Amino acid sequence: MERPEYVVQAEVARLIPVVADTNREQRAASIFLAALRGVYEFRQVMFASLGHRVSARARMGAWTEVALECDLDIPKKDRPDGLVQLVTGSKQWAALIEAKIGSNEVGEEQLKRYLLQAKKNKIDAVITITNQFVALPNHHPVKIPKTLLKGVELYHWSWMYAVTQATLLLDSGDITSPDQRFILEEVLRYFSHDSSGATRFDSMNREWKEVVAKVKSGAVLSKSTEEVENTVSSWHQEQRDLCLVMSRKLGRQIKQKISKSHRNDPVQRLKDDCELLAKEHKLTCCLTIPDAAADLDITADLTKRTITCAMRLGAPQDKVRSSARVNWLIKQVSKANADGFYVKAIRPGRAEETQTPLATLLADGNALETLSTNVVPSAFEVFYMADLGARFSGAKVFIEELEKAVPHFYQEVGQKLRAWVAPPPKLQKRDPVEVLSIEDSEEAEQAAIESTGD
């Protein structure tokens, strides 16, 4: 494909780029863009995350070392790393690409320049690729005034997001061409190596230890301080990384459950979560796992210094007695490693909730019973609690323990739980209409006899 007219200098993105050893960002950008060009299913899934459907008829061009018309006077270091263009019939869509590796991040001023360059040249979007994580590709780690986004789209991918999508594609078997599988396997191998500069989120913010210490000492947290905002921002990044970790482990796409208002407004999401941290000293998130019995709720409690993973199931409504409902749950988790696991019985209205260690419940099915109420449970919550104590304040330790706790909970209990489904109705032995007809006939006969007797 020929490059667009507004591009005055560019190199075609190569799978094996010839660049200096020191220019790892250019190499990463070139390999990634070449993979999009070379593997249809990969570009299809990546652009679908931006809301753009890529048909089999669409042609794609990708270039690096891009210089745009009227921008030749801009230093090379300030030029975007790449450009992609999708052409379907008469329709065209293009995006500037800016890639960073390691701990490098896209600066606000740099991003503003690219947005202005895109507007000048009627380019549809700007896509940044770094090791920073966002909940959704249309959220961005850099806060940009909305006025700059009029007429141009802004998206963000993390390198680990691209790695995860490639992993899921290869595991799914959707790529039927052996040659394209080979290309994507090699690209995945490159980005999975430390030398590529693509990294996971592995540490909370530098203020994490101080924030935890303040909570422990009873100091007041202000929702508008930098330390609280940075903590919540780090937590948002970790949520996304956790989704990617679980996606790779399960071979299915795991998503964050985010309210519609927060999906549309990441700034409001940040504010609301900052308020929760300041008031309740908690960080929370919810993962949606395909075909699982329930969503997986995760809570980091800075006061208790614990990490809790939980799933809630509705109790079987076809069972009347509490013992029958409890036994229904016990059968599902009887083979779990019960250490650190608990079960809570939730009852409707103001009826008392009861809680017991899973090990106790497995030994005694009546452990959730209480003398103060005879109301049967309407739901059960099964949860795992990791009590980290002093280790909770370690910025890296916290992430390590969280990413151990969530898979552990799911392996031991989450994947074994089954939601209750109402049984199908059973056929009655006799059709009610027939029964009524017989009864009517019998009544008629009796009436006839009685009238004859009269």
* Spatial contact of 146 and 120, defined as CB atoms under 8 Å apart: no
DSSP code for 137: T
How are beta strands 91-99 and 125-130 bridged, if at all? parallel
Mean pLDDT of successive 10-residue segments in the chain (454 residues)?
Answer: 88 90 89 96 96 92 88 70 94 95 93 93 96 92 90 96 94 92 96 92 95 96 94 95 95 94 92 97 97 97 98 95 95 95 94 94 93 90 97 97 97 96 83 67 66 62
Task: Tell me the C-alpha to C-alpha distance, in Å, between residue 401 and each of 202, 354, 391.
Answer: 11, 28, 9
- Spans of all domains in the chain: 7-196, 208-416
> What pLDDT is stored for residue 372 in this prediction?
84
> What pLDDT is stored for residue 73 in this prediction?
63
| Farthest-apart Cα atoms in the chain, separation | 118
* Spatial contact of 287 and 273, defined as CB atoms under 8 Å apart: no
Q: Please enumerate in sequence order all residues whose Cβ is within 8 A of that of 418, keeping only pairs 6 or more positions apart, or say none.
A: 293, 332
> What pLDDT is stored for residue 451 in this prediction?
67
> What pLDDT is stored for residue 19 in this prediction?
82
Closest Cα to residue 238, out of 17, 405, 89? Answer: 405
| Type of residue at 213 | A
Output the six-digit token pair for 419. 């939601």
* Spatial contact of 191 and 198, defined as CB atoms under 8 Å apart: yes
Instruction: Quote the CA–CA distance of 377 and 327 in Å, as a whole number.
Output: 12
Strand order in the sheet with 59-68: 7-12, 59-68, 82-88, 91-99, 125-130, 153-158
Instruction: Quote the CA–CA distance of 394 and 402 in Å, as a whole number.
Output: 12
Instruction: Quote the CA–CA distance of 43 and 37 in Å, as a whole number.
Output: 7
What number of residues does the chain have? Answer: 454
Estimate the crossing angle of helix 226-250 against helix 266-280, to 10 degrees. Answer: 110
